Amino acid sequence: MPLVILNILTAGCREESLSIFQLSKASVILFGNLIRIIFFFVTNCENCVKKLFNRKIFCLCLFGLLLNCLGSISIFILTQTRPGSTFTPEIEAPKSLFSEIEENQKYFGGVSVYFQHDVFKNLEPNRENFIRLARIDDIRSREKKKIFINFQFNDLQQHLEMFLSRKVELGTYKTPERYVYNKSSNSLHVVTDTSPVITYDQSFTFAFDFIPPVGVFLKEYVFGEIEYNVKKADGNSCSDVSVPLFYFRTELSEESHLVIDMNKTPRFYTHEDLTDISKVWKTGWMECDCTGSLKPTLNMALDAPCVN
């Protein structure tokens, strides 16, 4: 019975898509318990009616077998189905021999990597401002290629200039995004001139790399792992720095590094726009906490260029 309970918990928290192996395992458990009940009836039913004591033992054993059978049925149902978007059951068909995480909207849709810096974190009119760096799907889809994001800023007395650009390894930087924050009016504007910043206070280059899950039966991170490193340049030197990054989900457009409204006016992301990833990555019918990392992993051995 403890093994059946453990299998129920495993099936109820299942993250991976249904595999032939999982379905076969659930079927064997179910049919094995049905055979045990039939065999028990055949071998014990004739003797159980002879004595009251035998009858009690028979009923107790039968009760235990029925519990095992109900547990096996639960395992089979939990394995064969998964909760849909409205938490209604959806029947699955196995697609591969062993299980894999599906790259679907449930886990990765609208999820991006965000960061904060003291230079813009608490600028009015909001507090706790964020800048979006890259969509998690973009990082995962770059097979053996890193993604680089460069963020430069120039903090002047009257305004703050910010410059963001990105490129894929072995490629060139795409058309950058440039913004100016007016400290007098507390307003943010898009700058159409996207030429590189001539002078800047600091330049941060983020390097992202995706490590796919390994193993067949036991996977430490079934979502895979996103690693990153950061290089900071201040005009004279270049150094490794530890900058915390975050996963969030948003329902807003992810075409830019900032939120752009219908009037083409930019603003920073705030907590009101974002959903914490721990609330998104709930798995299975039991909505268990996922086994994947809830934020990118800093790896200072990861090669990252220094953009001066």
Q: Which tens digits make up the pLDDT trace of 204-260? A: 999 999 988 766 555 566 677 899 999 998 877 888 888 999 999 999 888 899 998
What pLDDT band is residue 39 in, cutting at 50, 70 and 90? confident
The stretches of the chain forming alpha helices (DSSP H) are 2-12, 20-48, 52-80, 105-108, 136-141, 277-280
Rounded mean pLDDT, 170-184: 85
Looking at per-residue confidence, does 73 or 87 come out higher? 73
Q: In 111-197, at which residue ranges do the beta strands (DSSP E only) sit? A: 111-115, 131-135, 147-155, 159-168, 177-182, 187-190
Quick one: pLDDT at residue 123? 87
Q: What is the mean pLDDT of the chain?
A: 78
Q: Which tens digits make up the pLDDT trace of 42-75? A: 666 655 555 545 666 767 777 777 777 777 777 6
Q: Which tens digits make up the pLDDT trace of 277-303? A: 988 887 777 777 776 788 999 998 998
Query: Which range (152-161, 168-177, 193-202, 268-277) has the least confidence?
Result: 193-202
Query: 112: which strand partners?
Result: 135, 248
Judged against a pLDDT cut of 90, whether residue 262 lies above it is answered with no
Give me the residue spans of the domains in the chain.
2-91, 105-298
Looking at per-residue confidence, does 288 or 12 come out higher? 288
Query: Which range (33-37, 88-92, 111-115, 189-193) has the least confidence?
Result: 88-92
Q: Per the structure block, which two tokens stand in for 308?
A: 């001066």
Give the containing element (helix H, strand E) for 245: strand 245-250
Looking at per-residue confidence, does 235 or 203 come out higher? 203
Quick one: pLDDT at residue 36? 72
